[in-house]
Amino acid sequence: MTDPLLEGFLHYLKTERNASPHTIDAYRRDIAEFGLRIRDDENFSDWLSVDHDQARTFVMKLFDAGDSKRSVQRKLSSLRSFYRCLIKHEQATDNPFSGLAPIKSDKPLPVVMSISDIDRLLAGVRTYWQSAAASGLSKSEDSAEFAEARDTAMIELIYSGGLRIGEAVGLDLGDVDLNNRLVLVRGKGKKERLAAIGTPCCNALRAYYPRRKSVGAERRVDAPLFVNRFGSRITARSFQRNLKNYLISAGLPPDFTPHKLRHSFATHLLDAGADLRSVQEMLGHENLSTTQIYTHVSAERMRQVYKKSHPRAK
């Protein structure tokens, strides 16, 4: 049994919207599911009798069946488009799916690196540049040692202080106070904050400073902290390219980004008992709600550990 309204819509997608066969099949499945869920009829075609209550019932049935929010959103979008087409061609006067409350998608939890991952990453920096020097990939041994020292210090600083990559490459020499273990960070909207750094970060910076001098970088307080081999400020893109090599060298997922270090900074602090307000200040978040996503990460990690370790978890 053919469904003239549905077939007309699919024809409209093909001829007027130039939709692919794959897209058309997806619309057909999404729209046909309404008949299965509401009327238990895979050949349902009485679209003009559908009302808002049935549309809401359809949403509930989808969730009861285990559909994700993303899946429900897609199916409702298909049905809205279907009825908009019917109204456009004067085949219907009302869109029963237009008044439904929007379904907010769950924000994906930030992916974080474990402490051992960060140790492996730092080891990967050393391994990569040793190999580059030995194979001739690096211009010289001194060049390899400079890049290793610089990028080790950058990784330590981003993780130790919770900096964004743009904040790290934007630092000037005078922004770092090693004696007090503080860094002046200029964040979004030119807002300034102080970031505390630990001993490994301070040691990495002290090891980097002589290498920085060796490439002729200026020593004024307003000179860039992290520089390339020409003594100019390094770009975020350049560091990100290097990071990919270090991740591969360390056997870590190549889709880890500098921002994952910042995520890890926040999550590890909360795991260790830091309060949310303090972490908010350290990250430079204007709203506490932005920082709260990390509490979900910590809670999820806790559940995973519990499920894996507790004898009565299963």
Residue range 107-139, pLDDT digits in tens: 665 677 889 999 999 999 999 999 999 998 888
The answer to whether the beta carbons of residues 284 and 257 sit under 8 Å apart is no
Q: How far apart are CA 227 and CA 129, in angstroms?
A: 17
* Residue tagged active-site, from 229, 260, 262, 263: 262
CATH number for position 220? 1.10.443.10
Q: Tokens at residue 98, please? A: 């237009």
Residue 191 is among the residues annotated as catalytic for this protein: no
263 contact partners, CB below 8 Å, separation of at least 6: 110, 111, 112, 113, 294, 297
* Residue tagged active-site, from 150, 164, 260, 268: 164
Final residue belonging to a domain, choices 88, 104, 126: 88
Residue 107 is among the residues annotated as catalytic for this protein: no
The answer to whether the beta carbons of residues 297 and 267 sit under 8 Å apart is yes
User: How many separate domains does the chain show?
Assistant: 2
Residue 188 is among the residues annotated as catalytic for this protein: yes
CA angle, 31 then 35 then 37, to 5° = 105
Would 103 be classed as within a structural domain?
no
Residue 259 is among the residues annotated as catalytic for this protein: yes
Same domain, 146 and 283: yes
Would 137 be classed as within a structural domain?
yes
Same domain, 229 and 121: yes
Residue 83 is among the residues annotated as catalytic for this protein: no
- Tens digit of pLDDT for each residue in 44-63? 889 999 999 999 999 999 98
The pLDDT of residue 289 is 64
Residue 17 is among the residues annotated as catalytic for this protein: no
The answer to whether the beta carbons of residues 62 and 71 sit under 8 Å apart is yes
Would 13 be classed as within a structural domain?
yes
Same domain, 257 and 122: yes
Q: How far apart are CA 53 and CA 7, in angstroms?
A: 25
DSSP-assigned states of every residue in 230-267: TSSBPPHHHHHHHHHHHHHHHT--TT--HHHHHHHHHH
Same domain, 76 and 182: no
Domain limits at 263?
115-308
* Residue tagged active-site, from 83, 128, 246, 294: 294
Same domain, 127 and 241: yes
Final residue belonging to a domain, choices 51, 70, 88: 88
* Residue tagged active-site, from 17, 89, 139, 188: 188
Same domain, 40 and 172: no
* Residue tagged active-site, from 14, 259, 296, 301: 259
The answer to whether the beta carbons of residues 82 and 6 sit under 8 Å apart is yes
E-assigned strand segments in the chain: 176-177, 182-186, 192-196
Same domain, 30 and 170: no
18 contact partners, CB below 8 Å, separation of at least 6: none
Same domain, 125 and 39: no
Same domain, 164 and 299: yes
Would 108 be classed as within a structural domain?
no
* Residue tagged active-site, from 150, 229, 263, 285: 285
Same domain, 191 and 44: no
Same domain, 227 and 293: yes
Same domain, 18 and 66: yes
Would 102 be classed as within a structural domain?
no
Spell out the per-residue pLDDT of the chain, length 314, in tens: 578 999 999 999 999 988 888 899 999 999 999 988 988 877 888 999 999 999 999 999 998 888 888 899 999 999 999 999 999 999 999 999 988 887 776 666 567 788 999 999 999 999 999 999 999 888 899 999 999 999 999 999 999 999 989 999 999 999 999 999 999 998 876 788 888 999 999 999 999 999 999 999 999 999 999 999 999 999 999 999 999 999 999 999 988 889 889 888 888 887 777 777 877 888 877 676 666 666 655 555 556 654 665 565 55
pTM over 0.85: no
The answer to whether the beta carbons of residues 83 and 97 sit under 8 Å apart is yes
Q: How far apart are CA 32 and CA 125, in angstroms?
A: 54
